[in-house]
Chains A and B, each alone.
Chain A
Amino acid sequence: MNDDDLRGSGEDRREPAYDDDPVARFFGAHRSSVRPETAGDLDWARITRAARRRRPHRFLAGAVAAAAVAVVAGFGVWTVQAPQSNGPAVAASSVSSTSVRSGTQAGGARQPQHDSGTPVTPGAQSQAQPRVVVPDSFVTWSLSNAGNNVVYDLGSSSCGAFTCPVLLRSADNGASWSGVHTFDGSLYSSPVQPGGKHIQPDDQLRDVRFVTPTTGYVFGGDLWVTHDSGASFSRVAHPGRTVLDVEAWHGDLLVLTADKCASSTCAGSVSLTRMSTSADTVPQAASSTADLTAPIVSGQIVVRNGMAYLSLTSASDGAPLPPLRLVNTSLEPMYAPGACAGTSLQAITPSTTLNHQLFALCTPMTGASRTSYTLVHSTDDGVTWTKVSSGALQLPTGSRPDLASVDADHVAASAGPTTTTGAAAVVGAGSLVVSTDGGKTFVAKDGPLGLPASGIDWLASPGGSQYYAITLSSSGYWWSNDSGLTWRLVDPIR
């Protein structure tokens, strides 16, 4: 800070801060070393947008006040007429291995609250847009197979000086594409690539999940739903501050949210909420909450056969926290088998064509360029685990591992372009490996395919014998329809 400026055109302010003493000199020295940051248009746009969200509408405020008076009046009458009783029961929720947070109301048509106490604005609309050609600047971020050969691809495109999410739709399993919605209210500073930053600010959107060819969700910090194949969207009210992940299973939507989120880290509690995909509301007793024992940088839901599992990554060192499993309304820790030598399970994935079967990694053994993992397999929804191999699966050191499986024999693994904490990783060769013998051996697939050296950001199986792999540096994505034996690039721009 420039002290001359602060003094104000030579005026003697006679303030203690400008006395010639050690204290004033100490603070003055530190003050003068403050380095200003840039103040850009993008930050300003976010500020005004957030301010508008929080700004109470004067007419609405009047109506709310009038309604409040009416409710108070009604309540007064009711209390006179009705016998005394306790208030409505609060939904049972909030079960944790280490702590219990009681009193989290999950049901009804309540107004969800941010942890700062600021109400979110459910029901906000993004009006229907006409279909457009795929923009040339498109980069794939997230993919969702909606069934009946319908695939949705959420990625980035230029929005003036910034980057914003664009949703593409294909009705022929990726052969042809059109743009169905541009989220120009969710701006990223160009050329930002979110990479491993899985925890997004409120107004940003990063991922897509469709439950039918017409109904689906996009989410980042917020959650938006469409019922018309992506033409229009409306914001969905949800508990918790920030949406970390969304998965659907047989008509139910599971939404993972967290509180006290800032700078891509959440430090409050995580909530897993079951919602109806038709009603877009939070039903009674739908939330299960666990208090975090350490700040996290990411959280993922895995759902299979009606079972839901949470993988959480610690913010301090990027290590996996013990995963949680949803049992009734409780989130209970999943314990790793003895073969994991005291390390936590990570990268849990179901075999998409089989019920009850899961694969997971543990015991990372870090070498200079490669890290080897122990692969474990469960056939009882993660209650017990069997070691498949130790050291057979090797991925580039420092990168975030991902796992996918089609069936008990076919497993694929990848290494991300980022570390587990979201920083850029040096990945290089061996970022995509495939096993056809249940994980006993793996064969690298990235070299022959000419995959970028930055690695794979996301790997998953949508079912059947299919795998998807996203690099975050390409307009398209990699697709295998033969359990990982062969792969081809699907590019919406071409």
Chain B
Amino acid sequence: MTTISLLAPAGARARRHVREEGRSAVARGQSATDAAVREVYDAHFGRLVGWATSLVGDRDLAHDFATEAFIRLINHWGQVAEPRPWLYTTVANQVRDHWRKRGREAAAYDKYTAGRPVDIDVAAPEPDVATRLTVRDAVESLPGRLRMTVLLHYYADLSVAQVARELGKSEGAVKRDLYDGRKLLAEHLKQVR
């Protein structure tokens, strides 16, 4: 009886010690992660919001996208080799989903307005057609398989190797996609100019 009553608390103390050690280590790890990601945040958050804003035209929404990307980055820090490409890819995925959703809403709205133009500012000077083409217009003029590659390389400024790693493709495949995308876009730009 005595042995049991002594052993049980000792066992409990040992388990508690292990748990506290573990918790302490986890807390230290979280603190180190937060500090590391904070550096990335200072360097990239503002530009990432601006980049996303230019794509979705809504600063609040872009802010949400960038925030979400950083939340995920903190929780996946140990698995992220290069934060910047990872962040831009994460935001680009959200932008793509938003475009798809907005595309469906816009189609429904067009149906509602029977294609009639709404709120055209007739007094505004006609801008140069090439400058009026948005990045979204350009990217969405491409087949789906090329869009992310083109967006990440040309607009997020990720290298071919980075795009390949983020999209899980070979560098050769990325180069081929960029070649095809550039060919189609060059034609598109020529038409709208």
State whether A50 and B153 are in contact (beta carbons under 8 Å apart), knowing that A21-B182, A36-B46 are contacts in the complex: no
Please indicate the chain A residues that have their CB under 8 angstroms from the CB of B96 in the complex: none
> Closest A-chain residue to B23, C-beta based?
A59
> Chain A's nearest CB lies how many Å from the CB of B172?
13
Expressed in whole angstroms, the Cα–Cα distance for A371 and B17 within the complex equals 70
Asked whether A58 lies within 8 Å of B26 as measured between CB atoms, the reply is yes
Please indicate the chain B residues that have their CB under 8 angstroms from the CB of A16 in the complex: 153-154, 160, 175, 178-179, 182
State whether A262 and B182 are in contact (beta carbons under 8 Å apart), knowing that A17-B153, A26-B138, A37-B49 are contacts in the complex: no
Binds B, one of A41-49, A101-109, A352-360: A41-49
Looking at chain A's contact residues, the main secondary structure is: helix
Scoring A1, A38, A59, A264 by chain B CB atoms within 10 A of each residue's CB, the highest score goes to A1
> Chain B's nearest CB lies how many Å from the CB of A212?
37
Asked whether A34 lies within 8 Å of B182 as measured between CB atoms, the reply is no
Point out the residue from B42, B58, B75, B138 that lies within 8 Å of A51, measured CB to CB.
B75
In this complex, the interface size class of chain A, counting residues with CB under 8 Å from chain B, is 35 or more
> Chain B's nearest CB lies how many Å from the CB of A36?
4
Point out the residue from B22, B23, B182 that lies within 8 Å of A23, measured CB to CB.
B182
Please indicate the chain A residues that have their CB under 8 angstroms from the CB of B70 in the complex: 47, 51
Point out the residue from A43, A52, A54, A262 that lies within 8 Å of B45, measured CB to CB.
A43
Beta-carbon contacts under 8 Å, B153-193 to A: 153-155, 157, 159-160, 175, 178-179, 181-182, 185-186, 189-190
Asked whether B47 lies within 8 Å of A1 as measured between CB atoms, the reply is yes
> Closest B-chain residue to A18, C-beta based?
B157
Expressed in whole angstroms, the Cα–Cα distance for A55 and B74 within the complex equals 9
Is B90 in contact with chain A by the CB < 8 A criterion?
Answer: no
Is A24 in contact with chain B by the CB < 8 A criterion?
Answer: yes
Expressed in whole angstroms, the Cα–Cα distance for A47 and B181 within the complex equals 36
Beta-carbon contacts under 8 Å, A1-38 to B: 1, 6, 13, 15-17, 21-24, 26-27, 30-31, 33-38
Please indicate the chain A residues that have their CB under 8 angstroms from the CB of B159 in the complex: 13, 15
Asked whether A59 lies within 8 Å of B19 as measured between CB atoms, the reply is yes
Please indicate the chain A residues that have their CB under 8 angstroms from the CB of B26 in the complex: 58
State whether A262 and B49 are in contact (beta carbons under 8 Å apart), knowing that A23-B185, A51-B75, A58-B22 are contacts in the complex: no
Please indicate the chain A residues that have their CB under 8 angstroms from the CB of B59 in the complex: 37
Point out the residue from B19, B38, B175, B189 that lies within 8 Å of A26, measured CB to CB.
B189
Is B83 in contact with chain A by the CB < 8 A criterion?
Answer: no
State whether A31 and B182 are in contact (beta carbons under 8 Å apart), knowing that A22-B189, A55-B75 are contacts in the complex: no
> Chain B's nearest CB lies how many Å from the CB of A48?
6
Scoring A50, A51, A54 by chain B CB atoms within 10 A of each residue's CB, the highest score goes to A51
Please indicate the chain A residues that have their CB under 8 angstroms from the CB of B190 in the complex: 22
> Closest B-chain residue to A118, C-beta based?
B71
> Closest A-chain residue to B138, C-beta based?
A26
Asked whether B160 lies within 8 Å of A15 as measured between CB atoms, the reply is yes
Is A148 in contact with chain B by the CB < 8 A criterion?
Answer: no
Is A127 in contact with chain B by the CB < 8 A criterion?
Answer: no
Expressed in whole angstroms, the Cα–Cα distance for A33 and B45 within the complex equals 17
Binds A, one of B5-13, B61-69, B113-121: B61-69
> Chain B's nearest CB lies how many Å from the CB of A29?
8
Produce 1/0 per residue, A48-75, CB < 8 A to B. Answer: 1011101100110000000000000000
Asked whether A263 lies within 8 Å of B154 as measured between CB atoms, the reply is no
> Closest B-chain residue to A55, C-beta based?
B75
Is A39 in contact with chain B by the CB < 8 A criterion?
Answer: yes
Expressed in whole angstroms, the Cα–Cα distance for A34 and B49 within the complex equals 9
Expressed in whole angstroms, the Cα–Cα distance for A47 and B47 within the complex equals 16
State whether A26 and B185 are in contact (beta carbons under 8 Å apart), knowing that A16-B153, A47-B41, A51-B75 are contacts in the complex: yes
Produce 1/0 per residue, B130-146, CB < 8 A to A. Answer: 10011100100000000
Please indicate the chain A residues that have their CB under 8 angstroms from the CB of B154 in the complex: 16-17, 23-24, 27, 31
State whether A21 and B54 are in contact (beta carbons under 8 Å apart), knowing that A30-B155, A47-B70 are contacts in the complex: no
Beta-carbon contacts under 8 Å, A305-362 to B: none
> Closest B-chain residue to A50, C-beta based?
B71
Asked whether B19 lies within 8 Å of A46 as measured between CB atoms, the reply is no
Asked whether B75 lies within 8 Å of A54 as measured between CB atoms, the reply is yes
> Chain B's nearest CB lies how many Å from the CB of A44?
6
Asked whether B153 lies within 8 Å of A23 as measured between CB atoms, the reply is no
Expressed in whole angstroms, the Cα–Cα distance for A30 and B155 within the complex equals 8
Please indicate the chain A residues that have their CB under 8 angstroms from the CB of B160 in the complex: 15-16
Please indicate the chain A residues that have their CB under 8 angstroms from the CB of B23 in the complex: 59
Expressed in whole angstroms, the Cα–Cα distance for A316 and B98 within the complex equals 17
State whether A47 and B67 are in contact (beta carbons under 8 Å apart), knowing that A22-B186, A59-B23 are contacts in the complex: yes
State whether A23 and B49 are in contact (beta carbons under 8 Å apart), knowing that A30-B135, A263-B58 are contacts in the complex: no
Please indicate the chain A residues that have their CB under 8 angstroms from the CB of B34 in the complex: 48
Please indicate the chain A residues that have their CB under 8 angstroms from the CB of B54 in the complex: 30, 33-35
Expressed in whole angstroms, the Cα–Cα distance for A1 and B182 within the complex equals 21
Scoring A22, A27, A44, A47 by chain B CB atoms within 10 A of each residue's CB, the highest score goes to A47
Scoring A16, A46, A50 by chain B CB atoms within 10 A of each residue's CB, the highest score goes to A16
Point out the residue from B53, B134, B135, B153 that lies within 8 Å of A15, measured CB to CB.
B153
Please indicate the chain B residues that have their CB under 8 angstroms from the CB of A23 in the complex: 154, 181-182, 185-186, 189
Please indicate the chain A residues that have their CB under 8 angstroms from the CB of B182 in the complex: 16, 21, 23
The 3 lowest CB-CB distance pairs between A and B, nearest first, are A263-B60, A27-B154, A51-B74
11 more CB-based (< 8 A) A-B contacts, given A44-B45, A47-B70 = A16-B154, A26-B189, A30-B134, A35-B50, A37-B53, A43-B45, A46-B67, A48-B34, A55-B30, A55-B74, A263-B58
| Between-chain CB contacts (< 8 Å), 7 pairs | A1-B51, A13-B159, A17-B153, A17-B157, A27-B154, A36-B49, A58-B22
B residues contacting A by CB (< 8 A) are 19, 22-23, 26, 30, 34, 38, 41-42, 45-47, 49-51, 53-54, 58-61, 63-64, 67, 70-71, 74-75, 130, 133-135, 138, 153-155, 157, 159-160, 175, 178-179, 181-182, 185-186, 189-190
